Amino acid sequence: MDSNVSSNSSAPGRSLVSAKVVIAGGFAAGKTTLVKSVSEIPPVSTEAVMTEASREHDDLSSTPDKTTTTVAMDFGRLTLEHELIMYMFGTPGQARFWFMWDDIVRGAVGAVIVVDSRRLAECFDAIDYFETNQTVPYIVALNRFDGELPYTVDQIREALEIAPEVPIVDFDARDRNSAGGVLKELLRYTLSRKAEPVG
């Protein structure tokens, strides 16, 4: 394991700082998998078994083996660089649960929008949400399903109309270090935004 990605102990003489981050995105993009792969505590998940009724509303053509879905939120914790604790809150992806997003996002310092590049339309609403709520900076994380990306980062940036300054990274949500790298990129971007002069 990369010691710079995760540790649950603080270095002597240093105080820990905590931050809330949101893991958002469309249905079945890999949000829960990201939280589970990097959390240093047993993650809290509100996954429920998908019923036949939900299958009428959720597109499973690209994820036919999916049997559960998040109905409230996911929660995990990750310590970065021995001094920053990131509390991760994962949002539900389906439109019928979006009424919870405002409460989940409140107080967050940044967000990761997880994207399944095979189903770009699934992430439009998440991007619109954070574009509208400009007080929460976000980055886009392209989940490599089957280890591949069908489009280049530039093609996806153009398709999603992502501003040039917003980082887009690709990763494997199942891999601890890869997913941890996404959170480190979010931290770098958030800190750079805070360092920018106002006006």
Q: SS3 letters for 74-99?
A: EEEEEEECCCEEEEEEECCCCHHHHH
Angle between the 176-195 and 31-38 helix axes, to the nearest 10 degrees?
100
The arithmetic mean of pLDDT across residues 141-167, rounded, is 91
Element (H, E) at 157: helix 153-160
Q: Which residue is associated with the tokens 């809290």? A: 44
Q: Dihedrals φ, ψ of 51, to 5°?
A: -100, 170
| pTM, to two decimals | 0.79
Q: Tell me if 74 sits within 8 A of 45, measured CB to CB.
A: yes
Please give the span between the terminal C-alpha atoms of the chain, in angstroms, as a whole number. 42
CA-to-CA distance for 175 and 195, rounded, in angstroms? Answer: 31
**Residue (of 97, 39, 40) closest to 73 by Cα position:** 97
Q: Tell me if 87 sits within 8 A of 19, measured CB to CB.
A: yes
- Which class would CATH give 17-48+68-195? alpha beta
Q: Show Cβ contacts of residue 53 under 8 Å, excluding neighbours closer than 6 positions.
A: none
CA-to-CA distance for 6 and 14, rounded, in angstroms? Answer: 16
pLDDT digits (tens, 9 = 90+) for 20-53: 999 999 888 999 999 999 999 998 876 554 445 4
pLDDT digits (tens, 9 = 90+) for 62-119: 444 544 454 458 999 999 877 899 999 998 866 666 678 889 999 999 999 999 988 8
